[in-house]
Structure formats: C-alpha cells, structure tokens
C-alpha cells in the first residue's frame, strides 16, 4: 500500500486500463521512479474521475496514459475519445501545468480488430492534439504492432486472449516509451 511503501513524488505515473495494470514497470523501467496506477476495464473518463488519488497526489513530472481501447469497445466514437483525452489533459495541467503527458496510441488487437477504424481515427485526432502542445507526447505503437500487415497484428504481441500484451508486446511498448521518459534528477528545492 501507499502508506507502507510511499511511492516517489515527482516520478512517472502510468495510468489507464489493464495494459498498464499488467505492465511490470519495475522490470521494464528498472532505474526510473515509476508508479503503476492502471486498473482493468477503465476508460479515459475513469482516469479523469479518479485523477486526484491516481495521479495528482503523486505530483508527477510525467504521466503516461494508455486508455481509449475500452472506450471504443463500449461504443464511444473517435470524437468522444478525443474529447475525453482533452478533458484528461486539462485535469492534469490545471494542477500540474509543467507535467508532460505521454499518450500511448490505442493499440490494434486481434480481439478488437473489428473496431480498428474507430481506434485509428481516435489516434489521429489525439496525435494532432499532441503536435500542438510541447507538453504532450504521442507514442505510436499502432504501426509497429501491425508490422506492415493489412489485417490484424501478429499473435506474438499478445497472450492467448488476443487483447492483452505478451512479453514481446511489452518489450515493443517499452522501447517506444523509454525515449520520452524524464531521466533528469528532480531539481533541488522543488516540491
């Protein structure tokens, strides 16, 4: 628990759905002050609703968000997912205006391939948003996971359910996210 083992302040909070929750962050980011606040089945709106206990109380320098997958699966349009992303950004930047927000693109998956068009459209809207604000980073895992395929992504990225990531999937994600991590020490005197 946070009481027994307080997480680092000014670290890197990972938030979002089960792709975050299942990511063994200390294993993949061993030298970084990472905090995992993912929870299964969540949508962007859930991370907004619980933004204080999940994110803001940790005063992170960087927030990594993976969500949108469950949103589209629940019937939300690309435009609604984009608006929810904008609301999430506002919720963070109203309290932590300097925080960097790293959005991991909604992934293509075997299990939800029927929703690929809507997911890809949401990614494009969020990418455009990120290009307009230097505090926002869009990490494209869509193209690398498709690996040049026209159809669903290769099975190697997933466990048996065709939705959640395998070790090779997390290896790919880590490689794409790592360059956007803040490796600098916290400035002395900041709080």
What is the tens place of the pLDDT at every residue in 45-101? 999 999 999 999 999 999 999 999 999 999 999 999 999 999 999 999 999 999 999
**Predicted local distance difference test score (pLDDT) of residue 9:** 79
Those residues with Cβ within 8 angstroms of residue 146's Cβ, 6 or more apart along the chain or in another chain:
108, 153
CB-neighbour burial class of residue 121 (10 A; exposed 0-12, middle 13-18, buried 19+)? middle
**Predicted local distance difference test score (pLDDT) of residue 147:** 87
What is the tens place of the pLDDT at every residue in 63-79? 999 999 999 999 999 99
The mean pLDDT value of the chain amounts to 92
Q: Between 149 and 155, whose confidence is greater?
A: 155
Q: Are 94 and 129 in contact (CB under 8 A)?
A: no
**Predicted local distance difference test score (pLDDT) of residue 80:** 98
Q: What is the pTM of this model?
A: 0.93
pLDDT at 1 over 60: no
């Amino acid at each position: 628990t946070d009481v027994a083992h307080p997480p680092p302040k000014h670290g890197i909070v990972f938030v979002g759905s089960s792709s975050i929750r299942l990511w063994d962050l200390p294993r993949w980011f061993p030298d970084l002050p990472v905090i995992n606040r993912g929870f299964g089945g969540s949508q962007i709106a859930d991370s907004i609703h619980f933004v204080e206990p999940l994110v803001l109380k940790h005063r992170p320098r960087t927030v990594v968000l993976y969500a949108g997958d469950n949103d589209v699966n629940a019937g939300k349009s690309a435009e609604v997912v984009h608006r929810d992303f904008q609301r999430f950004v506002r919720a963070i930047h109203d309290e932590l205006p300097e925080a960097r927000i790293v959005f991991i693109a909604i992934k293509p998956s075997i299990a939800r391939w029927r929703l690929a068009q809507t997911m890809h459209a949401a990614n494009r809207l969020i990418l455009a948003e990120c290009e307009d604000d230097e505090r926002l980073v869009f990490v494209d895992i869509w193209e690398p996971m498709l690996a040049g395929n026209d159809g669903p992504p290769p099975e190697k990225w997933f466990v048996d359910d065709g939705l959640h990531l395998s070790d090779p999937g997390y290896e790919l994600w880590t490689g794409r996210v790592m360059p956007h991590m803040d490796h600098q020490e916290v400035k002395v005197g900041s709080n």
